[in-house]
Structure 1
Amino acid sequence: MGYDPLKESLFNTQLLIKRKTLSDGTVLEEFSFDDPDVEKDLKRLDAYEKQQATKNLQFPKHSVREPVDRRQNGYSSVTLSELVEKYTAERISRKAWTENTKTENVSAFAKLVSIVGDRSIDAITREDATRLLTLLQKMPSKRGGTLSANVINKKIGMLSSLYIYAIDNHLTEYNPFKSLQITVDDRPEDAQDAYTLDELRALFNPGYFKIDRARPSRFWIPILMALTGCRPGELAQLEVDDIFDIDGISCLHINDLMQRKSRNAIRTIPISVELTRLGFLRFVDQRRQELESDKKLKDKRLFRELSPNRPKKAGAVSSWWNETHHKHCQVVRTSLITRGRVTKKRHVSLYSLRHFVQTKFRAEGIAETISAEIVGHDKGETTGYKTYAKGGQLKPLVEAIKVLDYEDALANVPVWP
């Protein structure tokens, strides 16, 4: 078969290749792993796949050949790489994927192609799918240990969606990844925990939490999350025009032009008295004045220091908060909590500010429809809560936000000058 770029790269990473010649002269090759050193090989494979995922869907070709002509075997003539190209083009044309979602899916598809080869989509068996699942369960996580069940299920779900597309378009009849996800014992809300008030006092201690005029996102995104429950990526995309008054009530708007988690994320949130006290509206006015005074300035975002091309829009703030700021404030991110005979893993991060808001709303008895409208969850079927556009309709949200009482945790936070 010669040495194509894929094989050369795999030889360079010292992955094993099993080779077998059939009676008809066809050569079969597949990748396998040295079991005693599987973690090292998995790291090499992951690094290779990430490199492949950046090459505009140029997936490896002919890494495995079928022993007989696909059509003689009744196989589809569509290969995995061809299916991926069709599926990706369809999702992009329908604007169903953000850049971040595209990158995640491409990486998952590259893993499959790299491991089982670029074969007919009908030639991928349940055994192949299970093999990939096993490798994902052994793959190291960036945080240490192995990938979580939720991450693994997400990757398998992407591959299942690929085959669902193929079935819907009459390219195949079988989905080898159907119902392959592993069981997750933890409830979704247990994936990350809310901060305690003591942790918030430490994280918002003015000795460490200071105003940085060059990087206002580090100051405002954590505060906005604590007082609105917004996602960090939503706040990172706010523009000056997304802050406005409705019947005398100052609001911020998460709109349909942003990259967002779902349609439910589009919403209008009243700005609390506490946010006003800390100088958020003054900061917005300063940004507005900068735009008016410099006509060449086209970037209307509140946080222009953040890269607009980064897949995770608030990634720079999350990294600083989760690593540097946590360390300075001596707040432990991951710990084990034992209650009686039950030991639970507790994990906190920037996202825990959003979880604190949701926990507070539940504790204070705020109606689920109101809470969902503020944090951007599914609002149910009640039409009156689908959207808020007038001051009178905003009043329930204004009252709900008042329960976000942090006692003295935010009392000493510096006020924006």
Structure 2
Amino acid sequence: MAQLTGLFDRGGAYYLRVVLPLHHPLLDRYKSGKVVTSLGRCSHREAIRLGTIKRAEILWGESFHPKRIEILTDINRCKAATPDTAKPVLLRDVYDLWVQASRRTADSIAACNRAVKLFEQHTHNPPLNQMTRSLGNEFRSFLQTLPTTSKTARDRLNWVKSLLKYAAQDLELIPKSPWVGLDIKSKTTASRQVWSTDWLQKLLGHEIWQNGQLPKDKKAGGLAAYWIPLLALYTGARCSELCQLLVQDIDTSGHVPLIKITDQGEGQHVKTTASVRRIPIHSELIRLGFLEYASSQKSISLWPDLPLRDGKPGSFFSQWFGSFRRSLDVPDTLVFHSFRHTVRTSLTRSNVPEPIIDRLLGHESQGSIGARVYTHPQIEQLKQAIETLETLNLPVVAKVDPGS
């Protein structure tokens, strides 16, 4: 007989019990963590259909979609059917549910879809219950024959593994993922480099920073071309974190001006929970006029002229910066992300404690319990650490008159 998790019969009527996951918005209303609703008097088959829809409405709310119900209904029938009558559940079905199960970036959806397509092309798309470990090993070998980096091959394997894990743990379609432990060793294609003083002088000797002559390329974002590399050099923040900054993220309410890296604003994302942080603004940035620039902005975004690509806010700026540094004959090993390594290296050389460096750069602190506790230092400690970064004595060319 077909089954649906949480479905039960009481007095001739069917009811559905749904256990709410952690952080579900309905937990404020249902303190027990469970929602029990009546499906009325109906046949068992109809109760499964209605219960599948009701369960989706409760768990996914506005993200409920008819396509999801179609797939879920087929899945429940598949669980109940005999091998001769079961409609096979494919990896593509799991992918469709995974896309709708949570908010995903466009890049994540596209990357996962590419991995599924490769799987379908190479394996002839077997049903989920026929995906053996040997098939996983064969697919892993196939990925490594493609003209891509080992990292790309590993990422594609991991996307399929993630779907299998989702099918096992969330959908309960298979007892466990058969590909657990399969991996591709990823080789670093380029060593991490830091910006030397000579290369920084080469970069910042450009007219952008010497006399405020801004590039005409729209991807540079006007004054963003001046400020974002300097912010990276004096904060260690990621390109995407800086490009998605809002005016409200520049906090001057306290005695130490701060940059807030957060995911609270519209379109803002962070890499991990540790990435949410506050970074004191270096005195050199203040001298160059950054606070005046921020306070003069009338828009929500700190960079009103910078185009943002959905799901990847630093993409266009990164493209411009790559072309720009190549025009200066800067080595390919020195990219925008190298500012981040430069900051970490500089802080380490100044004997800043590792947990404070992790806090400033948004890394999860490792080591002992004491070290992890130390990742909550006072703002004054963070300010002192930031001020150890070397100043380059640039001319003041980018101050903005708030009244202009």
Judge same fold: TM > 0.5, yes or no.
yes
Q: TM-score by structure 1 length?
A: 0.66
CA distance in 2: counterparts of 1:185 and 1:81, whole angstroms: 30
What does residue 394 of structure 2 align with?
Answer: 411
Cα distance change on mapping 1:139 and 1:286 into 2, 3 Å = farther
Q: Deviations over 1:336-358 (max 9, x none)?
A: xxxxxxxxxxx321110111111
What are the within-5 Å matches in structure 2 for residues 8-407 of structure 1?
Answer: 72=83, 77-90=88-101, 92=102, 95=103, 97-140=104-147, 146-147=148-149, 149-168=150-169, 169-184=171-186, 191-207=191-207, 209=209, 210-212=212-214, 215-257=222-264, 258-287=268-297, 290-291=298-299, 300-322=300-322, 324-333=323-332, 347-379=333-365, 381=369, 385=374, 387=376, 393-406=378-391
CA distance in 2: counterparts of 1:386 and 1:101, whole angstroms: 30
Cα distance change on mapping 1:224 and 1:211 into 2, 3 Å = farther
Q: Please report how far the alpha carbon of residue 176 of structure 1 lies from its aligned counterpart in structure 2 after TM superposition.
A: 4.2
Kept after mapping to 1: 8 A contact 2:309/2:316: no
Kept after mapping to 1: 8 A contact 2:280/2:379: yes
Instruction: Count residues in correspondence.
Output: 308
Kept after mapping to 1: 8 A contact 2:161/2:180: yes
Kept after mapping to 2: 8 A contact 1:203/1:325: no
Q: Please report how far the alpha carbon of residue 394 of structure 1 lies from its aligned counterpart in structure 2 after TM superposition.
A: 0.5
Cα distance change on mapping 1:360 and 1:71 into 2, 3 Å = farther
Cα distance change on mapping 1:151 and 1:193 into 2, 3 Å = farther
Kept after mapping to 2: 8 A contact 1:306/1:313: no
Cα distance change on mapping 1:416 and 1:155 into 2, 3 Å = farther
CA distance in 1: counterparts of 2:282 and 2:352, whole angstroms: 16
- Paired amino acid for 2:98: Y
**Counterpart secondary structure, 1:109:** helix
Cα distance change on mapping 1:224 and 1:312 into 2, 3 Å = same
Q: TM-score by structure 2 length?
A: 0.68
CA distance in 1: counterparts of 2:290 and 2:240, whole angstroms: 18
Kept after mapping to 2: 8 A contact 1:84/1:162: yes
Q: Deviations over 1:144-193 (max 9, x none)?
A: xx31x23322221221111111121321135343222222455x9x7532
CA distance in 2: counterparts of 1:316 and 1:309, whole angstroms: 7
Cα distance change on mapping 1:129 and 1:413 into 2, 3 Å = farther
Deviates more, 1:260-269 or 1:109-118: 109-118
Larger Rg: 2
Identity of aligned residues (%): 23
Alignment gaps of 5+ in structure 1? 1-55, 58-69, 141-145, 292-299, 334-346
Q: Please report how far the alpha carbon of residue 317 of structure 1 lies from its aligned counterpart in structure 2 after TM superposition.
A: 1.3
**Counterpart secondary structure, 1:252:** strand
Kept after mapping to 2: 8 A contact 1:76/1:120: no
Kept after mapping to 2: 8 A contact 1:239/1:301: yes
Cα distance change on mapping 1:401 and 1:329 into 2, 3 Å = same
CA distance in 1: counterparts of 2:376 and 2:313, whole angstroms: 25
Structure 1 runs of 4+ aligned residues shifted over 6 Å read 73-76
- Paired amino acid for 2:316: A
What does residue 19 of structure 1 align with?
Answer: none
Q: Deviations over 1:67-99 (max 9, x none)?
A: xxx954899832111111122222x1xx4x334
Q: Please report how far the alpha carbon of residue 384 of structure 1 lies from its aligned counterpart in structure 2 after TM superposition.
A: 5.3
- Paired amino acid for 1:199: W
